[in-house]
């Protein structure tokens, strides 16, 4: 067993079911499933009995921490989160954040106090430390815009402080005004959320 797998099993409530799978016993009767993938990414999955309507679930994704999200498989609605086992330092805080989000989504007030928010100068120092080309990062009034290139085209990504996290976002669909449009997009987006890794689709206002 790897040292990182042993660290996972030190998380309170974690029970090994196989060399690459665990059950995570949360407060009450809730029990999330965890699987280690071939890319050393853990996927955390919690079945949602009586899920909210699709558009409501997709909108709620925006307020959940990390990449935690409502997602739809062929049979059920679940809460999903992914985290890479790429180091020891971040894992305790990552699992605490995911647990807090699962509790919030399931209507259980988390016991832990909210963490301190990130400071703007701390974020700016981290960006500067990466030595990004000047044209790839633009500082806005209360956020940043990253402009990575995909197939040669710049793809603007908004980066903003959200509590103790940085939130990266990009609009992919605009002008979702009618209930029919929102319902159709929400259904497909929830299914995409089951396929995505480390990211999620969410509705914010009239955009996806």
Task: Tell me which long-range contacts 10-17 makes (C-beta under 8 A, separation of at least 24).
Answer: 11/91, 11/92, 11/95
Rounded CA separation 52/184 (Å): 15
Rounded CA separation 42/92 (Å): 14
Rounded CA separation 41/91 (Å): 12
Q: What is the enclosing helix (H) or strand (E) of 59?
A: helix 54-60
Rounded CA separation 137/175 (Å): 27
pLDDT of residue 190: 96
For residue range 2-49, list pLDDT tens digits in order: 676 777 888 888 998 988 899 999 876 789 999 988 888 899 999 998
The mean pLDDT value of the chain amounts to: 87
Q: What is the pTM of this model?
A: 0.87
pLDDT of residue 157: 94
């Amino acid at each position: 067993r790897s040292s990182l797998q042993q660290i996972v099993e030190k998380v309170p409530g974690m029970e090994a079911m196989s060399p690459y799978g665990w059950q995570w016993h949360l407060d009450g009767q809730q029990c999330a499933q965890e699987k280690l993938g071939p890319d050393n990414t853990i996927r955390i999955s919690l079945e949602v009995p009586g899920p909210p309507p699709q558009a409501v679930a997709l909108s709620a994704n925006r307020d959940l921490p990390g990449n935690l999200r409502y997602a739809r498989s062929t049979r059920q609605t679940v809460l999903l989160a992914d985290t890479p086992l790429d180091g020891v330092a971040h894992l305790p805080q990552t699992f605490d954040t995911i647990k807090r989000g699962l509790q919030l989504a399931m209507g259980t007030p988390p016991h832990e106090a909210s963490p301190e928010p990130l400071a703007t100068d701390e974020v700016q120092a981290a960006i500067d430390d990466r030595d990004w080309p000047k044209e790839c990062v633009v500082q806005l009034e209360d956020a940043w815009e990253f402009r990575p290139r995909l197939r040669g085209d710049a793809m603007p990504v908004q980066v903003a402080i959200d509590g103790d996290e940085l939130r990266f976002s990009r609009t992919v669909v605009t002008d979702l005004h009618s209930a029919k449009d929102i319902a159709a997009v929400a259904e497909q987006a929830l299914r995409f959320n089951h396929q995505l890794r480390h990211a999620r689709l969410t509705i914010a206002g009239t955009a996806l």
